[in-house]
A = this chain, B = another copy of it.
């Protein structure tokens, strides 16, 4: 575990530096593909120094993942049951798309983890994640049954928002290879997904 209450400013700053470097390397190489040497170099620290702040490579990875879950779920948490249904869902989609633009490394970190069976996160998926999705799915179902949006399976609606937005971060290389240079995939995606969800949800 990370020291719970870093005393000095230097400690806080070093831990931040290490986590930033680890995000860079883990997201690009996966857990096994990443090495402490790479992380140390990216952080501008020595390898033993990394292990002064964290007990192991795995501890760095776990710290990254767990620290990220709240950030990752914030857009869904912010969906307001009292708001206008279509606007709320569209806003949620756009917040997720914005995260694919602003936090592609975090998206790939999660994708790597889930793709390999979530060995360090499956507990959180079945508890914290499931509970939040259950709650928001109930909200969407109510909107749907009230006729304020078209009838739609709320769980798969949420999955579709995840899949469609995260795709542009996780498969960035493929998207750019197909579209060719000189385009802004995320910008185009914003317009496309506006259309898609408008047509899907219009009552």
Contact = CB atoms under 8 A, between A and B. Distances in A.
A180 interface: yes
B196 A117 contact: no
Contacts of A125: 173-174, 177-178
Stoichiometry, as copies per complex, reads: 2
A199 interface: yes
Interface residues of A, number: 53
Given A163-B163, A177-B130, A156 B116 contact: no
Interface SS majority for chain A = helix
Nearest to A164: B163
A98 to B, nearest CB: 17
Nearest to A124: B177
A155 B156 CA distance: 23
Interface of A: 28-33, 108, 111-112, 114-118, 122, 125-126, 129-130, 133-134, 150, 152-153, 155-157, 159-160, 162-164, 166-168, 170-171, 173-175, 177-180, 188-189, 191-192, 195-196, 199-200, 202
15 contacts: A33-B33, A108-B115, A111-B115, A111-B170, A115-B115, A118-B174, A125-B173, A125-B177, A152-B192, A153-B192, A159-B167, A159-B175, A163-B166, A163-B167, A167-B167
